[in-house]
Structure formats: structure tokens, C-alpha cells
Amino acid sequence: MDASDMGSDLAAVLLTEEQIHTRLDEMAAAIDRDYAGEPILLVGVLKGAVMVMADLSRRLHAPVEMDWMAVSSYGSGTKSSGVVRILKDLDMDTHGRNVLIVEDIIDSGLTLSWLLGNLRSRGAKTVEVATLLRKPGAAKVEVPVRYVGFDIPNDFVVGYGLDYDEGYRTLPFVATLAPSVYGDDG
């Protein structure tokens, strides 16, 4: 899928494929430097983190294993409550491991805040976060994030794992969605 498939759904390309890949090179280098050859358990948060996980993990020289969690806001329309339930838990034991949570985006920060607390309570040696995108303008809670790809404006973005109504995830770049798509065009 590329921009030619999208018609007028996209307002603008925010981050090109090349910008994303260059930044992932830098993030992987920083992670390798920091962990200095120690094994890392990468924990991806489904579904949005799939692309970041695939591209970041393959750039790392450190020995890595991958695991996944799927989480959901509790109830409907309560994302801002920060109450999260686990739809799919980790398969692996995190005891004594260096856990690195891999996210596509930090919006309000509530999902990550909950996740950090949850994973820290499981006896990991370290728990850190790597995210491709972060929206400082949408933050409801401050969360310590060690590796950030890009701080972006508080716009509706899709692509590179990020969806609108489950669409657009497979775009290789990050784009802002035209307001007409989500019904906010005045």
C-alpha cells in the first residue's frame, strides 16, 4: 500500500519512509550502546507496534527475544480513564530480564503508564520504553520514555502500524488523515 492507493484520505505525509528508517537506525544504535551486549526482551504492544518491532528489532546487534501484549481500555469510550485490561499476556517470564517495551505511539500516556506499572511488578531487572512517535500535546500523564523517535503535533496520524478504524496500518510512512475521513471537516 502506498499514497497512490489512498486517494484524498490523507492530508499530508508527516514522516517519510526514509525519515522513519533513518531514525530507527539511530534508535537502534542508542539501544545497542546502552545495553552493551546484554540480552533484551522486546515487548511489543499489539497491534500498532508491529511495524516498529519488525524494523527496530532487525537493526539491533544485542541478543533479543520478542514477546507481545494486547491490551484494551476497560469498557467503551474510557480510554482516558487509564484502566486497561489484558487481552493477551506475555508468554515469557520477565524475572531478571531487561524488558524494553516497543510502542508505535504515546498519546495520552495512559496505556503506557499502566503497562509500566504492570511490567515493573513482575520482577524484571529493567523496564524501559522505545516509541516511534509521541504526542507531547496530548499527554495526560508523564511517563519516562528512554527512546523516542519523533515528537509530533496533536493531529490524527495513520500509517506504519497506526490505524483509523483498522485501516491504513500498512502504509510505509506516517500521514495525517484528512478530517473528512473522520467526520470533522466542519
The catalytic residues are 107
Q: In angstroms, rounded to a whole number, what is the distance separating the alpha carbons of residues 68 and 89?
A: 7
- Identify the CA nearest to 166 among candidates 27, 50, 13, 81: 50
111 near ligand PRP, judged by CB under 6 A: yes
Q: How far is the CB of 171 from ligand PRP (least distance, A)?
A: 14
Could you tell me the strand order of the sheet in which 64-73 lies? 84-88, 64-73, 40-46, 98-106, 126-134, 147-151
Retrieve residue 145's grid coordinates. 520514555
110 near ligand PRP, judged by CB under 6 A: yes
CA angle 142/35/104 to nearest 5° reads 45
Binding to ligand PRP (CB under 6 A): which residues in 35-64? 45-48
107 near ligand PRP, judged by CB under 6 A: yes
106 near ligand PRP, judged by CB under 6 A: yes
Stretch that binds ligand PRP, among 10-18, 28-36, 60-68, 108-116 (CB under 6 A): 108-116
14 near ligand PRP, judged by CB under 6 A: no
Q: How far is the CB of 138 from ligand PRP (least distance, A)?
A: 7
155 near ligand PRP, judged by CB under 6 A: no
**Cβ burial, residue 3 (10 Å; 0-12/13-18/19+):** middle
Q: How far is the CB of 157 from ligand PRP (least distance, A)?
A: 11
Pick the closer one to ligand PRP by CB: 1 or 29: 1
Q: Hey, what's the torsion of the CAs at 44, 76, 122, 43, to 10 degrees?
A: 0
Three-state SS at 144: coil
Which residues of this chain interact with ligand PRP, rule CB under 6 A?
A: 45-48, 79, 103-112, 163
